[in-house]
Amino acid sequence: MERPNPPVDLLESLWLTLRPAPEVWKWIQREILGDTGSIHIRYSSDNSVLGTIAGNVSEALKRAILDAERFMMGDPDEAGTVFWLNQSFFDETMTAQDILAQVQLWQQGLIAKSDLRTNLRQGGVLEADRTDELIDDELAQQAPVDGSDTGGGEDEQ
């Protein structure tokens, strides 16, 4: 991946000059935003290999479960037996916009509070081991926040 370089005259100047670097937008479109860019290809190939492995393992485990059903019941339930490995290989993190959107969905009554917290856990915002009950207990023990609380300890008058 060849990055664009600043013009030679900019590097030789004694004074700081701010101006757009030539070819940067084309490079960003080609290497980062484009489907054929090196960054996109690197991560899609990782996903592709892992996806193939997970798919093969899932199919093998499903067949093993069906064999166990055949041994125990005689006639396996092929339509009702479902097994698939999770294929979320890379950690997903929530952006501030994602968090805001989730809170708005909860405030509008479109998702439950438990769904909001589950999504925040999956996004890495809440620790995975903090249960809803633990969070509710902690919130119940805290004093309510009012408009004069500045977070600095003692209330200033």
* pLDDT surpassing 70 at residue 101: yes
* pLDDT surpassing 90 at residue 92: no
67 neighbors 97 (Cβ within 8 angstroms): no
pLDDT band at 79 (very low <50, low <70, confident <90, very high): confident
pLDDT above 90 covers a percentage of the chain that reads 17
The pLDDT of residue 89: 63
Q: What is the dihedral of CA 38, 43, 44, 45, to 10 degrees?
A: 90
Can you tell me the distance from the alpha carbon of 122 to that of 99, in angstroms, rounded to the nearest whole number? 11
In terms of pTM, does the model score above 0.75?
no
Domain boundaries, the chain: 19-90, 96-141
Q: What is the dihedral of CA 127, 133, 134, 136, to 10 degrees?
A: 100
